[in-house]
Amino acid sequence: MFKPTRCPAWGRKSWRAAAERGLTLAGWCRIRLAPVLAWAMVTVVAAGAAPGPQAASEAVAAGPIYGSTPADPRGRAYRLAVHPLHNPVKLQKAYQPLIDRLQSELPGLRFQLEASRDYAAYERKLQQREPDLLLPNPWQTLKAMEAGYTVIAMAGDPDDFRGLILVRRDGAIQRPIDLAGQTVSFPSPTALAACIMPQYYLHEHGLLVGRDFKSLYVGSQESSIMSVFQRRSAAAATWPPPWRAFQLDHPIEAAELKVMWQTAPLLNNSVMVRSDVPTSVRDGVRRVLLGLNDSAAGRSVLAAMRTSRFFESDDQRYAVVRHYIDRFERDVRPVEAKP
DSSP per-residue string spanning 293-337: GGSHHHHHHHHHHT---EE---GGGGHHHHHHHHHHHHHT--TTS
Order of strands, sheet of 310-311, starting from the edge strand that comes earlier in the sequence: 110-114, 77-82, 133-135, 269-274, 149-155, 310-311
Please report, for the chain, the start and end positions of each structural domain, with discontinuous segments joined by +: 9-44, 72-157+267-280+296-311, 162-264
Q: Give the phi and the psi of residue 250 in degrees, each rounded to 5.
A: -135, 65
| Residue 150, beta-bridge partner list | 273
As assigned by CATH, the class of the 162-264 domain is alpha beta
Measured CA to CA, the distance from residue 323 to residue 61 in angstroms comes to 38
CA dihedral 253, 300, 117, 129 (to 10 degrees): -150
72-157+267-280+296-311 shares its CATH topology with 162-264: yes
Asked if residue 329 lies in contact with residue 173, where contact means CB atoms within 8 angstroms, the answer is no
pLDDT above 80 (res 327) = yes
CA separation (Å) from 37 to 30, 33, 42, 44? 9, 6, 9, 11
Q: What is the pLDDT of residues 68-116, one digit of tens each?
A: 444 444 467 999 999 887 777 888 899 999 999 999 999 999 999 998 8
Q: What is the pLDDT of residues 223-269, one digit of tens each?
A: 999 999 999 999 999 999 999 999 999 999 999 999 999 999 999 99
Provide the mean pLDDT of the chain.
82
Q: What is the CATH number of domain 72-157+267-280+296-311?
A: 3.40.190.10
pLDDT (mean) for 40-48: 35
